[in-house]
Amino acid sequence: MIGVVADPSDRAVIREFFELFKTPWEFYESGRRYDVLLCAGTPEYLPEAANVTLLYSSDVLYCDVANQLEVSGRREATTLALGESNLPIYGKCLLFQASSSNLFRLNEEASGQAALTFYSSQNGRVVRIGYDLFHEIRHLLTFGQPVEFSGIPTLELHIQLVRELIISTGVTLAEIPAIPEGYKFIVCLTHDVDHPSIRKHSWDRTAAGFFYRATVGSLWNFLRHSISLRELLANLAAATRLPLVYLGLAKDFWRDFVHRYQELEKGCCSTYFVIPFQGRRGREGAGLAPAYRAAQYGADDIADLIAEMTAGGDEVGLHGIDSWIDSSSGKEELHKIQELTGAARIGSRMHWLFFNEKSPALLEQAGIFYDSTCGYRETVGFRAGTTQAYKPLEAERLLELPLHVMDTALFYPAYLGLTSTEATRVLERLANFVDRFGGCLTINWHDRSLAPERLWHACYRQLLNDLKARGVWFATATEIVAWFRKRRSVVFEGAATKRGSSATDGLSDDNDQLPELRLRIHNSPLLQGRSGQHGFVDVCFSQDAILQMASGNGQ
């Protein structure tokens, strides 16, 4: 059991941290002895309550002075080297003259000075880390990471450091990792439906952009070897057919996207985010958004395609317009999608990824089941620093399923401007992170991205093949969020572990159809000879398995 000592104002952050690092913990209770004490902020004293204390603070504390800890400097924000990974620190960070141990090197990247050290006190061994852990977690969950650190799963690295520091002490540590039983990790395939029909665009901004990119842009991309001759000819042919499409004499090559995705994704399932109303530009902060934000279709216009999506096992979510800023609008938008799908639980992703710190509470008030807006327009990666669905601090129940990859960020010249081969390497690197930490990789390939003039199907096919080979669980966003809720419903009470009921939000029927959880145990004396090189053993989460482990019969 971990006892936590921190500022009372951080209690919501601490609770969420331990939903992501799902292990036994509680707020420190006087008189109790703990396996590990985790202290953060500026504690007035260190309780004599554990043999090992993890002490996080960017301030020089009384116990530092009492134990003659030498400080070499303090940074406002910096980057630390944690093994082979970089760990951005967004608040203050204290650096020490004493070096880190050979086992745990946490040094400032620029100077090489240590941000972690050890000393012995009358309370036992203290691991001193020079930043405030929960300040960092609050920043990640509230503000997210700037583009320059987008490729770093920072929150997962914070969890990894805590985990490894505890394991190194020899303490037996149990956790419920964010990995479904029987799979390596989770993948959520999503498609934002922005332009389901080019016939709806009568030489407007979208149509003009298409024509330019299909002709001049494609020729330029061919000359610089970014696309193949076949792709060039396909784009030129589509541009030539465009007048016939408008006249109804040729097929609308943007319209059959559902069939194309279902053919490509065979055996997988997707979540389509659909705009509810045509012609609404919505608001952008205090004023109106640009007129070209307004979609040239509404959900009613693609009712046949929505039926095709759901018949094929896919799901439909809300591509919200004003629900991020107004709960009344959110209810109206949600009702339109529910009306067409018949689904009770609907999630959302905001059109143009509009969002602010108040949005989670507003979406929750509107009755939206989950959100999947937290991501980057201009790059790919981990905006909140995590691979897991998390509860924003402003919400009571709403979970955020972070968006990690958007195709336009990969390929648009104004953003990363990658070739298909370069994009594949970037996607492989992100998948490797999720394979390492568990959780979910959330991908957005837009409705028109398989059609001319984009033709981004080769990279998407390669991505699907790679993910299938890794043994992942492909699921809809609603199923994935339900699985994370199932994991969050687990409670640790003393030495016992059980599945709770109050936190499942009526999902018990769904839980029976979802992959099981797994219980991971590090350093258990009962598992000698079974843990191998990993230093842990996994068992499928069930009451029988837990009782066997607790009684020593789990051989």
The kind and range of the H/E element at 264 are helix 257-264
Structural contact between residues 399 and 373, judged by C-beta atoms closer than 8 angstroms: no
Q: What is the largest CA-CA distance in the chain?
A: 85
Structural contact between residues 101 and 118, judged by C-beta atoms closer than 8 angstroms: yes
All structural domains of the chain with their residue ranges:
2-175, 186-197+254-478, 201-252, 489-551
Residue 256 reports pLDDT greater than 90: yes
pLDDT band at 502 (very low <50, low <70, confident <90, very high): very low
Tens digits of residue pLDDT in 97-142: 876 555 678 999 999 999 999 988 776 789 999 999 999 999 999 9
Structural contact between residues 400 and 20, judged by C-beta atoms closer than 8 angstroms: no
Superfamily of domain 186-197+254-478: Glycoside hydrolase/deacetylase (3.20.20.370)
pLDDT for 532: 45
Residue linked to tokens 């395609």: 305
DSSP letter at 302 equals G
Class of residue 56 by CB neighbours under 10 A (exposed 0-12, middle 13-18, buried 19+):
buried
User: Is the pLDDT higher at 170 or at 351?
Assistant: 351
Positive/negative CA dihedral, 7, 12, 13, 19:
positive
Q: What is the arithmetic mean of pLDDT over 404-433?
A: 96
pLDDT band at 513 (very low <50, low <70, confident <90, very high): confident
Provide, for the chain, the percentages of residues in helix, strand and coil under a 3-state DSSP scheme, each rounded to the nearest 5: 35, 20, 40
pLDDT for 389: 98
* CB atoms closer than 10 angstroms to residue 456: 20
pLDDT band at 531 (very low <50, low <70, confident <90, very high): very low
Residue 45 reports pLDDT greater than 90: no
What values do phi and psi take at 12, rounded to 5? Answer: -65, -40
Tens digits of residue pLDDT in 20-44: 999 999 999 998 999 999 999 988 7
Token pair for 203: 């030489």
Tens digits of residue pLDDT in 288-305: 999 999 999 999 999 999
Whether 2-175 and 186-197+254-478 share one fold: the answer is: no
pLDDT for 67: 84
pTM: 0.93
For 177, residues 6+ apart whose C-beta sits below 8 A from its C-beta are 22, 438, 518, 520, 538
| Beta-strand relationship, 116-121 and 106-108 | unpaired
For 509, residues 6+ apart whose C-beta sits below 8 A from its C-beta are none
DSSP letter at 390 equals B
DSSP letter at 99 equals P
pLDDT for 494: 57
Residue 497 reports pLDDT greater than 60: no
Domain 2-175's class? alpha beta
Please give the single-letter amino acid code of residue 374.
Answer: C
pLDDT for 122: 72
Q: Which residues pair with 320 in a beta bridge?
A: 350
Residue 315 reports pLDDT greater than 60: yes
Cα(177)–Cα(181) distance, rounded to whole angstroms?
10
Q: Which of 410, 470, 471, 403 is nearest to 440 (CA)?
A: 403
pLDDT for 515: 96
Cα(379)–Cα(156) distance, rounded to whole angstroms?
20
Structural contact between residues 289 and 283, judged by C-beta atoms closer than 8 angstroms: yes
What's the chain's average pLDDT? 91
* CB atoms closer than 10 angstroms to residue 282: 25
What values do phi and psi take at 387, rounded to 5? Answer: -95, 0
Q: Strand, coil or helix: what is 444?
A: strand
| Beta-strand relationship, 2-5 and 34-40 | parallel
Structural contact between residues 530 and 537, judged by C-beta atoms closer than 8 angstroms: yes
Cα(132)–Cα(251) distance, rounded to whole angstroms?
59
